[in-house]
Structure 1
Amino acid sequence: MSNFVTYVICLPETQEARSAIVSGVRELVEKHGGEISGASNEDEMTVLDMIEQHEDFADYIADDARAKAKEVHAKAAN
């Protein structure tokens, strides 16, 4: 199992609620010894899914990227 997890959260409309969710997630991560290693204000998972589904996208690219990501994560764990 990986030490990384990715969520896409559909935030509510109000800025107050958005801020509460974001700060709450950050507080929980810090409280339990985690570290936020990246963040985006876009739905990167859907974007990547669309790229991978494109007719011109070669499957080996995704396989290679996943293998390289595992290497990066393994180095970060040491």
Structure 2
Amino acid sequence: MTAPFITMVIKQPSDPRARQLMHDQLTHVISLYGGSITGLSLEDEMTLCERLQERLPDYEVEQAREEVAALHAEQPRSSRKRVQGTLKA
């Protein structure tokens, strides 16, 4: 089975209006195809996770991955916290 989540890091345009338009279009397309935004960060969380992974012992990284997998297996999607974001400056 394909994983239920996808994580992307998108470098935003510098223009605030372009940022908002991009956000609006992404949100529209995601909902159009039945997806939902379950989290939003204005930081590069993937790089942060990579740096933490480099610093932690392998067993702790694996334990964290297992905890996340169990969390998603236990909770129905509708019970998870949803974040409605905006990219307005």
TM bucket normalised to smaller: 0.7 to 0.9
CA distances 1:1-37 after superposition (whole Å, capped 9, x unpaired): 2010000000110001111111111111111111111
Q: CA deviation at 1:76?
A: 3.1
Partners of 1:5 and 1:77 in 2: CA distance:
17
Aligned residue for 2:71?
A: 72
In the alignment, residue 66 of structure 1 is paired with which amino acid? R
Aligned residue pair count: 76
TM-score for the superposition, normalised by structure 2: 0.78
Task: Specify every segment of 5 or more residues in structure 1 that has no aligned partner in the other structure, as ranges.
Answer: none
Q: What letter matches 2:47 in structure 1?
A: T
Q: Output the CA distance in 2 between the equivalents of 1:37 and 1:49.
A: 21
Aligned to 2:50: 49
List gaps (5 residues or longer) in structure 2.
Answer: 78-89
What's the counterpart of residue 62 of structure 1?
61
TM-score by length of 1: 0.87
Identify, as 1 or 2, the structure richer in helix.
Answer: 1
Aligned-pair Cα RMSD in Å: 1.4
Query: Could you tell me which residue of structure 1 aligns to residue 80 of structure 2?
Result: none
Map of 1:4 onto structure 2: 5
2:19 aligns to what? 18
Code of the aligned partner of 2:53: E
One-letter amino acid matched to 2:60: I
Asked which structure has the greater RCO (Cα within 8 Å, sep 6+), the reply is 2
Percent of residue pairs bearing the same amino acid type: 30
